[in-house]
C-alpha cells in the first residue's frame, strides 16, 4: 500500500513538473511571437531571440573604449581605510577578495551618500601593480600595501560577483552597506 502511494505521489509530481515546464515554454514562445513576427521553424525563433538578449548589454562595451578604470566602474571615490578586520590569509593558500572598511572623503564619479563604504580587494597582500594571474585585467593601481589610515582613490564595481565569484573574506556580513570590488586602487597623498 505504501509503495503504491509513493508511486502515485512521484507520478503526480512528474506530471506537475512537465505541465509547468510546458506552460513556461508556451509563454516564452508567445512572448517571442509577439515581439517579432513568427518565423516558420521553432529553431529560427530561438535564433531570433538571441540577438535581443545581446542588445541589452551594449553599455559595458561602450564604456570599455574609454580605458581600463572606466571599463565598468559604477563609482569612483577618494577614501581612507578605517578598519581591516583580522589578518590577511597567505596568498600561497588560495586567492581571495578581502573586505575592509573605508571612510569616504569625496565622490569623484557616481553617487554615494553613506559616510563609510565596504570595499573588497583581490589578494591584498600583493601590491596592485604586481598581480600577475588571470585577475590582472581586474586589478590595477599604485597601492603597495593595505594599512589602516591609508588614503586611496578607488574605482569600484558592485556587486563583487560581477568580477569575483570565489572566496571572499568578509567580516561585515551583517552590515547593511553595499560591498564594492576595487578594480583600481591608487595612493593619494
Contacts of 128 (CB under 8 A, 6+ apart): 139, 140, 141, 142, 143, 144, 184, 185
184, β-bridge pairs: 140, 155
Give the whole-number percent of the chain exceeding pLDDT 90: 43
The DSSP call for residue 3 is H
110 Cα distance to chain centroid = 17
Mean pLDDT computed over every residue of the chain: 72
Least confident of 47-51, 64-68, 70-74, 92-96: 64-68
The DSSP call for residue 161 is G
- Is it the case that residue 27 has pLDDT exceeding 50? no
Q: What is the rounded CA–CA span in Å between residue 49 and residue 42?
A: 11
What is the structure's pLDDT at 13? 53
Q: What is the rounded CA–CA span in Å between residue 164 and residue 166?
A: 6
Q: How far is CA 12 from CA 6, 18, 80, 140, 153, in A?
A: 10, 10, 59, 56, 59
For residues 120 and 160, the answer to whether their CB atoms sit within 8 Å is yes
Using a 10 angstrom Cβ sphere, with 0-12 exposed, 13-18 middle and 19 or more buried, the burial of residue 166 is: exposed
pLDDT tens per residue across span 98-125 = 999 999 999 999 999 999 999 999 999 9
Reference 84, options 143, 4, 12; nearest CA is 143
Using a 10 angstrom Cβ sphere, with 0-12 exposed, 13-18 middle and 19 or more buried, the burial of residue 15 is: exposed
Phi–psi pair at 35, nearest 5 degrees? -75, -35
What is the structure's pLDDT at 155? 95
80, β-bridge pairs: 103, 151
Amino acid at each position: 500500500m505504501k509503495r503504491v502511494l509513493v508511486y502515485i505521489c512521484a507520478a503526480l509530481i512528474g506530471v506537475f513538473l512537465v505541465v509547468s515546464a510546458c506552460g513556461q515554454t508556451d509563454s516564452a514562445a508567445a512572448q517571442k511571437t509577439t515581439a517579432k513576427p513568427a518565423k516558420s521553424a521553432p529553431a529560427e525563433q530561438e535564433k531570433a531571440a538571441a540577438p535581443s538578449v545581446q542588445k541589452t548589454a551594449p553599455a559595458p562595451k561602450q564604456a570599455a573604449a574609454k580605458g581600463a578604470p572606466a571599463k565598468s566602474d559604477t563609482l569612483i571615490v577618494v577614501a581612507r581605510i578605517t578598519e581591516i578586520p583580522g589578518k590577511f590569509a597567505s596568498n600561497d593558500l588560495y586567492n581571495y577578495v578581502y573586505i575592509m572598511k573605508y571612510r569616504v572623503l569625496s565622490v569623484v564619479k557616481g553617487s554615494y551618500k553613506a559616510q563609510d563604504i565596504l570595499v573588497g580587494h583581490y589578494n591584498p597582500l600583493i601590491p596592485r601593480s604586481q598581480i600577475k594571474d588571470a585577475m590582472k585585467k581586474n586589478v590595477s593601481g599604485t597601492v603597495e600595501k593595505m594599512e589602516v589610515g591609508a588614503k586611496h582613490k578607488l574605482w569600484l564595481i558592485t556587486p563583487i560577483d560581477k568580477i569575483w565569484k570565489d572566496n571572499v573574506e568578509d567580516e561585515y556580513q551583517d552590515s547593511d552597506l553595499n560591498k564594492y570590488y576595487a578594480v583600481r586602487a591608487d595612493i593619494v597623498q
